[in-house]
């Protein structure tokens, strides 16, 4: 049993690492094409970002591996696979619930890590990227990576979700984590500046967090930043 859990943990680590390398690699390549020379002098920084991100992959792999094993072998979790198991309207709702729960955890833990003492020991690694690049998506100190590693593995015990919708949540998480750090906006201006865009976090919002530190703490939605008065709007550099 222990060997199976270990194997599952290694497999998850490998999946998270490869997913990171493929997604960040693709958007770093796109950045070099769209903005030639934009990050040209950041070679050493990008190598550090990759190193920290791969370490984070190993940390994310542990709870994911254990829960993945329990799901397959012991029937743990509330992940379901039949399309009829819940009403169809629940499919998009479950995705929103997961994103909102993750966003809530991220907002408060992120704000907490910006307290001076914690910042130095937990969060300074992420802000050492100035400006961040597509490789900075998982560039976290292991302590910070731990705060994020348990979110989805815990949620799958609490909120029912179809396996395909969980895949969608993970895809959104991966793509937004990468693109929010790449220094340019891939969404049309019309969307970013629309009413819907005013609720969503994209590159120009998170870039401002990296410029000013004490604002724009959210992950997917601007809800908590609005409620808590920490939203400073979009970066003018992106
Ligand atoms: Zn960031
Ligand atoms: Zn921060």
pLDDT tens track for 59-71: 999 999 999 999 9
Average pLDDT over residues 85-110: 98
Q: Is residue 79 included in any domain, yes or no?
A: yes
Q: Is residue 10 included in any domain, yes or no?
A: yes
- Ligand 1 centroid to Cα of residue 93, in Å, is 27
Cβ atoms 163, 153 nearer than 8 A: no
* CA gap 156, 52 in Å, rounded: 26
Q: For the segment 6-29, what is each residue's pLDDT rounded down to a tens digit?
A: 999 999 999 999 999 999 999 999
Q: Whose structure tokens read 């969307």?
A: 191
CA angle 82, 86, 88 (to 5 degrees): 95
CA–centroid distance for 44 within its chain:
23
- Ligand 2 centroid to Cα of residue 206, in Å, is 9
* CA gap 217, 201 in Å, rounded: 10
- Ligand 2 centroid to Cα of residue 177, in Å, is 13
Q: For the segment 226-237, what is each residue's pLDDT rounded down to a tens digit?
A: 999 999 999 988
Q: Is residue 130 included in any domain, yes or no?
A: yes
DSSP 119: I
Output the pLDDT for position 40. 87
- Ligand 1 centroid to Cα of residue 175, in Å, is 13
Cross-strand bridge partners of residue 200: 221
Ligand in nearest proximity to the CA of 53: 1
Q: For the segment 127-180, what is each residue's pLDDT rounded down to a tens digit?
A: 999 999 999 999 999 999 999 999 999 999 999 999 999 999 999 999 999 999
DSSP 87: -
Q: Is residue 127 included in any domain, yes or no?
A: yes
Q: Is residue 214 included in any domain, yes or no?
A: no
Domain around 70: 2-183
- Ligand 2 centroid to Cα of residue 123, in Å, is 7
DSSP 199: G
Cβ atoms 231, 225 nearer than 8 A: yes
Q: Is residue 222 included in any domain, yes or no?
A: no
Q: Is residue 66 included in any domain, yes or no?
A: yes
- Ligand 2 centroid to Cα of residue 13, in Å, is 24
Check pLDDT > 90 for residue 80: yes
- Ligand 2 centroid to Cα of residue 157, in Å, is 28
Cβ atoms 5, 66 nearer than 8 A: yes
What is the tally of structural domains in the chain?
1
Q: Is residue 138 included in any domain, yes or no?
A: yes
Q: N- to C-terminal Cα distance for the chain? A: 50
């Amino acid at each position: 049993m222990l060997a199976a859990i270990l194997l599952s943990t290694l497999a998850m680590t490998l999946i998270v690492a490869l997913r990171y390398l493929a997604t960040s690699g693709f958007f770093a390549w796109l950045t070099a094409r769209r903005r030639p020379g934009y990050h040209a002098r950041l070679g050493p920084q990008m190598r550090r970002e990759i190193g920290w991100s791969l370490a984070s992959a190993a940390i994310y792999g542990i709870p994911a591996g254990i829960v993945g094993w329990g799901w397959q072998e012991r029937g743990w979790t509330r992940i379901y696979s039949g399309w009829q198991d819940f009403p169809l309207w629940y499919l998009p709702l479950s995705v929103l619930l997961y994103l909102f729960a993750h966003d809530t955890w991220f907002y408060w833990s992120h704000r907490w890590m910006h307290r001076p003492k914690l910042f130095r020991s937990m969060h300074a690694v992420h802000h050492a990227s100035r400006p961040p690049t597509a490789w900075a998506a998982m560039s976290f100190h292991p302590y910070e990576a731990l705060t994020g590693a348990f979110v989805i593995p815990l949620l799958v015990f609490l909120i029912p979700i179809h396996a395909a919708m969980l895949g969608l949540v993970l895809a959104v998480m991966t793509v937004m984590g990468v693109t929010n750090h790449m220094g340019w906006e891939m969404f049309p201006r019309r969307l970013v500046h629309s009413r819907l865009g005013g609720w969503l976090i994209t590159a120009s919002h998170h870039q401002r967090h990296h410029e000013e530190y004490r604002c724009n703490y959210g992950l997917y939605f601007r809800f908590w930043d609005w409620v808590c008065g920490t939203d400073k709007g979009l970066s003018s550099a992106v």
